[in-house]
Amino acid sequence: MHRIVAGIPTLKHHCDTLARDPERYRPTQCPHCGLGHPWLHGHYTRKADRTTSGQENPVPIPRFFCPGCGHTCSRLPSCVAPRRWYGWALQQTVLLLLWIGLSLYAVSGLPSLFDTPPPCRSTCRRWGRWLQERAADFGFHLRSAFPDWGRVLGWPDFWVASLRQQSLSAIMTWLDHHAVSVP
Ligand SMILES: [Zn+2]
């Protein structure tokens, strides 16, 4: 894993960091063969800004090349979720709204969340099911590392308590760095 670079909360922050300090993105070793220090190998672009203005698009995602095995890998800032259309911050907001009792219909009908048109009902439902299905695996790792969080049991109370401690982005980055596949 280790696909996610920690501590990059917004796309703006990502573009600034990539321009100013690209070394921060370099993986310590190739995820395929383990050889150290893959080379920076350009970038690909991704449409990751889902706000109405979309002004950060297209977002550059840095790529690295391993001279040992010839594989490339890419590294995502922690604000962007792997294999997801929307970022972690919006997913966190939607999940919390569902857990306090708002219906899928109500959440998808909100005028906007962080200036982003709200995701449709099926997307919101999918996020809820995803976390519920992965809760045992994620919770096992998190409880071992953060014993305090483990005092709150049950679904979704453990997650409500955990998200008081750290953002969904930070939690998913932590899991990624501990060899847990996310999302
Ligand atoms: Zn390699």
What share of the chain in percent tops pLDDT 90? Answer: 85
- Would you state the pLDDT for residue 46? 94
Question: Collapsing DSSP states into helix, strand and coil, what is residue 44?
Answer: strand
Instruction: Categorize the per-residue pLDDT at 150 as very low, low, confident or very high, splitting at 50, 70 and 90.
Output: confident
The candidate with the shortest Cα–Cα distance to 179, out of 145, 129, 133, is: 145
Q: Are residues 71 and 22 located together in one domain of the fold?
A: yes
The alpha carbon of 180 and the centre of ligand 1 are apart by a number of angstroms equal to: 20
For the stretch 61-104, pLDDT in tens is 999 999 999 999 999 999 999 999 999 999 999 999 999 999 99
Same domain for 97 and 161: yes
What's the structural domain count of the chain? 2
CA of 72 to the centre of ligand 1 (A): 8
CA triple 131-6-170, angle to 5 deg: 35
Q: Does residue 36 contact residue 29 with C-beta atoms inside 8 Å?
A: yes
Same structural domain, 172 and 105: yes
Could you tell me the sign of the dihedral formed by the alpha carbons of 175, 177, 180, 183, in that order? positive
Domain boundary, last residue among 77, 103, 123: 77
Q: How far is the CA of 135 from the centre of ligand 1 (A)?
A: 32
- In the reported structure, the alpha carbon of residue 24 is separated from the centroid of ligand 1 by a whole-number distance in angstroms of 19
| Residues 130 and 183 sit within 8 Å (Cβ to Cβ) | yes
In tens, the pLDDT along 95-148 reads: 999 999 999 999 998 888 778 888 999 999 999 999 999 999 999 999 999 988
Please check whether residues 92 and 170 belong to one and the same domain.
yes
44 and 72 assigned to the same domain: yes
Q: How many Å lie between the centroid of ligand 1 and the Cα of residue 76?
A: 18
Q: Which two tokens stand for residue 110?
A: 């909100």
Hey, what are 144's tokens?
Answer: 């071992």
Nearest Cα to Cα of residue 81 among 123, 52, 144: 123
Please tell me the distance between residue 41's alpha carbon and the centre of ligand 1 in angstroms. 13
Which domain covers residue 60, as residue numbers? Answer: 4-77
* Ligand 1 mean position, distance from CA 96 (Å): 40
